[in-house]
Every structure is written in structure tokens, then in C-alpha cells.
Structure 1
Amino acid sequence: MIETAQDPTIYQVIREQHRAVAELLAELSRERDVARGQQLFGQVRDALERHARAEEAVFDDILAQQDAQGKALVKDAERDHAQVRQQLAELEAMRADDAKWATKVEALTRSVTDHVAFEESTIFAAVEAILDDDQARTLAETFEALESRVEPEAAA
């Protein structure tokens, strides 16, 4: 496929998804209905897992093939993803009316926010130094295709 300037780059696609997850997390933190809270949590969990797997597939290879700094960025991102997955597992084992639920959601939100800031500054800068705009648009298509293949139940 021929990429055009109208096609989104990988950075635009990921930024848009980051904003969507931030909105879901904000809604989850405000939700007081237990059933709706559990439903929102499932949406957050699935979105984060699909997103993380696709990110790992597209960014890790690019950065790991670079210098030691690129490999260090991959390790930092993997550590962030592992922390978020651990927090998701803890929330998965709870009900939304648990006394610790709100605190755990707040911690998850902080972890995701911190990772987003790291990714949108440091990782994006490293990848932008490697890819031109056409490659970034092609990578966006690859990212979206990979993400669509992650089954929601695999996210648990």
C-alpha cells in the first residue's frame, strides 16, 4: 500500500490510544456502581493488554537492533508493562466494591500515566531518529493489525 500524508503515523495512533485509555481510567476511578466498575475494568484491562503487546511487537525490535541505549529503553518499557500487568492482575482478583479498589485503580492510573510520558517523550524520540514518516505510517498499520489479533481473553 502506498502511504499518504493523511495516513496516521505510529506516534499519532499510539497517542490517540493513550488518550482513550486515560479517559477509561478516569471513568473507572469515578464509577461507584460495582457492576459498571467491573465492566469498565475489563475494558481497561483488554485495551492495555492489546496495546502493550502491539507496542512490544513493533518498538522492541526496532530499538533492540540499535545501540545499548535502545536496548535499555526496551528493558525500561518491559519493566513498565510488567508493573501494569501485575496491577491489572491484582485488580482482576478483586471486586469493585473492595475497600482497596480505589487505591489500586489510582496506582494503576499513575503507572500508566508515567509510562505514557516516558514513551511519548523518550521512546518516540528514539524511534523517530530511526524511521522516516513513510515508515512511521507503515508501522502504524502493522501496529493496528497486531493489536486487532490480540484476543481479549488473552489479556487476563
Structure 2
Amino acid sequence: MIETAQDPTIYQVIRDQHRAISELLAQLSREQDVARGQQLFTRVRDALDRHARAEEAVFYDVLAQHDAEGKKLARDAESDHSDIRRRLAELEVMRADDDAWGSRIEALTENVTQHVEFEENTIFPAMEAFIDDDQARTLAETFEALESRVEPEAAA
């Protein structure tokens, strides 16, 4: 496919997903019903997993190949993903009516928020410095294609 100026860039795609995940996390933190809380958690977990795996395979891979600083930024971002996966694994074995559920959701939300800020304020500008808009659109297409094929993994 030939990208046009109307096609989203990788930054737009990732930013839109960040907003959608943030909204899911906000809904999850407000949910009082245990069954709906468990269902929302599954949606959050799956969305985070697909998003992180596509970022690592497409976005961070390009970043890491650029230079030593890009490699360091990619490693830092992947470390954030590991922290988020650990929090998801903790929540996976809990019920939404567990006393610690709310504080664990809060900690997960904080990790995700910090990662989003790092990505949007540090990684995006680093990528924008060496890929043009056409490349950013191609990356978006690759990212979305990969993400649509990724089967979420249950938290370990």
C-alpha cells in the first residue's frame, strides 16, 4: 500500500492506543462490580499485551537499530514493559474484590502513565529526528498489521 498524507503516522497510532488504554484503566479503577471488573481487567491486559508486543517488534526495533542512544531508549522502554507485565501477572491471580486490588490497579495505572509520558516525550522526538513522515506512516501500517495478528498471552 502506498501511504498518503491522510494515513496515520506511527506516533498517531500509538498515541491513540495510549488514550484508549488510559480510558480502560480509568473505567477499571472505577468499576465496583466484581464480574465487570474481571472482564475489564482482561480487556486491559490483552490491550497492553498486544500494544507492547507490537511496539517491541516494530517501533523499538527501528529505534534500537539507529544508534547507541536509540538502543538505550529501546531497552528502557522494554524495561517499562517488563514492569507492567509483572503488575499484570500480580493482578491475574487476584479477584477484583480482593483488598489489594484497588492499590494494584493504581500502581499499574501509574506505571502505564509514566511509560506513556516517557514514550511520547522522549522516544517520539528521538524517532522523529531520523525517520520522515512517509516512514512513520509505513511503520504505522506495519505496527497495526502485526498487532492485529498478535494473540494476547495470559500473564505468567
Interval of TM-score (by shorter of Structure 1 and Structure 2): over 0.9
**Percent of counterpart pairs with the same letter?**
75
- Count residues in correspondence: 155
- Alignment of 1:105 onto 2:120: no
Distance change >3 Å, CA 155–CA 128, structure 1 → 2: farther
Cα distance in 1, alignment partners of residues 61 and 34 from structure 2 = 40
Letter in 1 for 2:109: T
CA-CA distance at 1:155 after TM superposition: 4.2
Letter in 1 for 2:128: E
* Aligned partners of 2:59 and 2:143 also within 8 Å: no
CA-CA distance at 1:66 after TM superposition: 2.1
* Aligned partners of 1:52 and 1:81 also within 8 Å: yes
* Unaligned ranges ≥5, structure 2: none
Name the SS for the 1:32 alignment partner. Answer: coil
CA-CA distance at 1:60 after TM superposition: 2.1
Letter in 2 for 1:95: R
Alignment of 1:1-156 (within 5 A): 1-152=1-152, 154-156=153-155
Cα distance in 2, alignment partners of residues 71 and 141 from structure 1 = 23
* Aligned partners of 1:70 and 1:126 also within 8 Å: yes
Letter in 2 for 1:145: A
* Aligned partners of 1:9 and 1:138 also within 8 Å: yes
Cα distance in 2, alignment partners of residues 140 and 100 from structure 1 = 38
- Report runs of 4+ in structure 1 exceeding 3 Å deviation: none
Cα distance in 1, alignment partners of residues 81 and 31 from structure 2 = 25
* Aligned partners of 2:59 and 2:139 also within 8 Å: no
Cα distance in 2, alignment partners of residues 120 and 4 from structure 1 = 23
Give per-residue Cα distances to partners, 1:79-122, cap 9 Å, x unaligned. Answer: 10000000000000100000000000000000000000000111
* Unaligned ranges ≥5, structure 1: none
Letter in 1 for 2:122: T
TM-score w.r.t. the length of structure 1 is 0.97
